[in-house]
A and B are shown apart, each in its own frame.
Chain A
Amino acid sequence: MLRGSLRNEMKHCLYCLAPLPEHFQWKNVFLSETTLLCETCRNMFTPLPKNVCPKCSKPLQKGEETQCHDCIRWEKSTHWKGILEHNTSFYVYNDDIKDFVARWKYRGDAALALVFKEKLRRLYLQNYVDYYPVPIPLSKERFTERGFNQSALLASFLATPYTIFEKLQWMRTHRTYRKLKEIAPQPVLHALRRNIDEKKQSKKSRYERLTFTKNPFVSVSSHEVSVKGKKILLIDDIYTTGMTLRKAAYRLKEEEAASVRSITLFR
């Protein structure tokens, strides 16, 4: 099980390990960034500005009115048109976050994923209840080397059973009545496998990344993980160019997924 402390209360900020004020500690039954992190660390996470591309959450530049240039470009390509319908992101990817992600992924501090748990679940409950979460996989070598896949940890947050409160909220947002026991999240589908790791993204130019045409993903087709006709929600940590997500989405579309959207933490 993923835990940031082997005690029941959080005594320290999950990131900088500074002691948390006591009135914080009892609250963290709810496990969210507001209760797991100290004030300084919380301020590291800058929410995206209001004015973002409705399709991919990228902050809009001057001259971009309704959609960003990237999205327009993607939709012009016959190969990529309509592959990834939509992406939602939470926070701005900046230097502080770079350090945070380095400790999470490369140093292997798996528990840092917990920071995003509540936020992810809330968004999922609001907009994606009929979507099946699919994590972006790592290659087998990278997976054993690192010990965990950060995207799979995030996806697993969506599949844990709803609390009573979440079920009530479900009914409220969907304006439908269901028996409580019938309301359950969709299971995570491990529908993809990764054969090759791309080189560390940062070392390549944007051009290289965009033209790296080989698709590292293959779909795992079996009875249990069939994506045919299903709505799919890809989960990953960072959206840089959108290439990785689209390559993954492409494979799912080949397997006749009805729709592919994505949630990424940083943009």
Chain B
Amino acid sequence: MFSYFHFLSGKRKKTDLPPHAQRAQVAREVGPLSFDAFPSYFPSQLIHSSSYSSELYSQLKEKLYGKELLLEELQVTKEEMAPFLKAGLITARIGIQPRKKGYICLRCGTDDLSLFGSYPCARCQQTCIYCRNCIQMGKISTCTLLFRSHFPEETSFETYPQSENDILQWDGQLSLGQQKASDKIVEAIEKRRELLVWAVCGAGKTEVLFHGMAHALKKQFRVLLATPRTDVVLELLPRLRKVFPLTVISGLYSASTEKHLPASIVVATTHQVMRFVDAFDVVIIDEVDAFPYSLDSSLKYAVAKAGKRESATIYLTATPDPTLTSRVQQKTLPAVKIPRRFHGHPLPVPKLSWCGNWERKLKQKEVPKQVWEWCRVRIESGTPVFLFVPSVTSLQQVTDILKKLHPNIEGVHSADEERLTKVSAFREGTIPILVTTTILERGVTVPRVDVAVIGAEQDIFTESALVQIAGRAGRSHNHPTGDVVYFHYGVTAEMNKAITHIKKMNNTPIR
């Protein structure tokens, strides 16, 4: 069917690209509105209005650097915007575009019809279609314009150091595995190619990026580090600022204040990445499959759109998803593995422990005997414990029950307001067991921690989630081992796959 169609149209097969990349392509191809089209959005008297102030010029230029934004986000009026459009310094296009079957939102890339709403619009006097997927960032509808910069580029890098040694001020040592990956990253950036870096949890992924980033900065490339999670942004920012002291680095997450800073390195969460278009030479996607958020298609689209057409893309992950793995097998995606942790010890292999109908036990205000015993032994020996549960409901139940064991035991979930305080209390040792629904902090080393899952047979615990959970244990030099137990009510294929995965990583030679 498709090949016939493409034979007729004579076009290059777009269908070779994965769906998110196809959509990003569409987003790139939709051109700006012609100037004549503006009267329907801007009354004609505005279009012929007076010239702009130089203050506003530099403000807008800075805000729009690499981005596509709404009028509300720019905080200017239509009157103030009009002269910039007239001068061609800023272009505009409609945020929701019709497609063969339905619509696409140019900001978040949604083309799922069930994520669009419609309403009788007082602005355009028609039924407006709007994107409900990214409405938290300001509404985009069929009568909303997205503005994009065409300001002339000035070379702002003149004073920037030319030597990699000045750019990167770090004297840490890379392990054998890290060094190999680091070299591959430099090569991928040089050749503007894709690369999958497959690193076990605790392999020291961030350090692996340093040389590649320094290389990119030297070439005056702009670098994006995207991640689904705010925690990761907060954790990476100070580390990067320390080793790249002369570089402008901005961190973008929903509560950050530095939103409109033109920077050479941008560390951002999914939603923030959506605002960029055609802006980066190097795109690094961290934790491609971070439990509990697997890389949703919005983030895939967002990073594809944020990168320039010819950009290097580095995927960093402990648990590549099936799409990536199959591309590696087909040899369409180069990959490098770091199978060992930086301290050289293997990952702890999880144990399976049947614990019966734990849900019923919880209703009876009890945890299964095995779980209780396992926790008690660890409290007595002073071993900190991460205890994973499948849902917020079970989180509360388990926490309440375990408090009988030790009053300081706490539960924390992703929407918990006290999350950061609880996590730091856990790290300091005042909370002996932290019951949790998600992996809270990536790369944070809680020494000597043991890890268990209750209800490991639940759907939420996929192979990759279970691997990531196991990776919490044994992360420090002094205590490279750690106990990992999956308490379950029936072994699932995912549990077996996770264990095989870990064993396989442990058996992979470094060269």
Q: Please indicate which of the listed interface residues B129, B133, B135, B138 has the most CB atoms of chain A within 10 Å of its own CB.
A: B135
Distance from B415 Cβ to chain A, minimum over Cβ atoms (Å) = 10
Q: In the assembled complex, which residues on chain B have CB atoms less than 8 Å from the CB atom of A153?
A: 119
B114's partner among A5, A109, A148 (CB-CB below 8 A) is A5
Q: Assess the B114–A10 pair: CB atoms within 8 A.
A: yes
- Whether a CB of chain B sits under 8 angstroms from the CB of A69 is no
Q: Does B127 contact A (CB under 8 A)?
A: yes
The count of A-to-B residue pairs whose CB atoms sit within 8 angstroms is 75
> Which one of A139-147, A187-195, A219-227, A240-248 is at the interface?
A139-147
Cβ contact within 8 Å between A4 and B139: no
Residue in B103, B115, B122 whose CB lies within 8 Å of A146: B122
Specify the chain B residue showing the minimal Cβ separation from A138: B122
Judged by a CB distance under 8 angstroms, whether B121 is at the interface is yes
Q: Which residue of B lies closest to A149 (CB)?
A: B122
- A1-B118 CB under 8 A given contacts A108-B130, A147-B123, A147-B128: yes
Q: Please name all residues of chain B whose beta carbon is closer than 8 Å to the beta carbon of A253 when the two chains form the complex.
A: none
Chain A residues in the interface with B (C-beta under 8 A): 1-7, 9-12, 17, 103, 107-111, 143-144, 146-149, 153
The one of A5, A7, A147 in contact with B121, judged by C-beta atoms closer than 8 angstroms, is A147
Instruction: Output the nearest chain B residue to A5 by Cβ-Cβ distance.
Output: B114
Nearest CB of B to A111, in Å: 4
Query: Contacts A6-B113, A6-B129, A147-B123: A108 and B118 contacting too (C-beta < 8 A)?
Result: no
Q: Do A143 and B122 have beta carbons less than 8 Å apart? A: yes
Q: Which residues of B contact A (CB under 8 A)?
A: 102-103, 112-123, 127-130, 132-133, 135-136, 138-139, 141
Rounded to whole Å, the gap between the CB of B270 and the closest CB of chain A is 14
Measured between alpha carbons, how far is A2 from B120 in the docked complex, in Å? 7
Specify which chain B residues have a CB less than 8 angstroms from the CB of A146 in the assembled complex. Answer: 122
Closest 4 CB pairs of A and B: A110-B119, A111-B117, A6-B113, A108-B139
Nearest-neighbor residue (CB-CB) of B117 within chain A: A111
Are A7 and B114 in contact, CB atoms less than 8 angstroms apart?
Answer: yes
Q: Which of A12, A103, A148 contacts B119 (CB 8 A)?
A: A148
User: Quick check: B120 and A1 within 8 Å, CB to CB?
Assistant: yes
Q: Is B135 a contact of A109 with CB atoms below 8 Å? A: yes
CA A3 to CA B128, docked complex, whole Å? 10
Please give the distance in Å from A161's CB to the nearest CB on chain B.
17
Q: Which residue from B113, B133, B138, B141 sits with its C-beta under 8 Å from A147?
A: B141
- Complex partner residue of A12 from B114, B121, B141, CB under 8 angstroms: B114
Cβ–Cβ contact B135 & A6, under 8 A: no
Measured between beta carbons, the chain A residues less than 8 angstroms from B119 are 1-3, 110-111, 147-148, 153
How far is A11 from B141 in the complex, measured between Cα atoms in Å?
21
Q: Please, which residues of chain B bring their CB within 8 A of the CB of A10?
A: 114
How many whole Å from A177's CB to the nearest CB in chain B? 36
Cβ contact within 8 Å between B135 and A5:
no
Docked pose: A124 CA to B48 CA in angstroms: 51
Is A107 a contact partner of B115 (Cβ separation < 8 A)? no
Pairwise interchain contact B117-A3, C-beta atoms closer than 8 A: yes
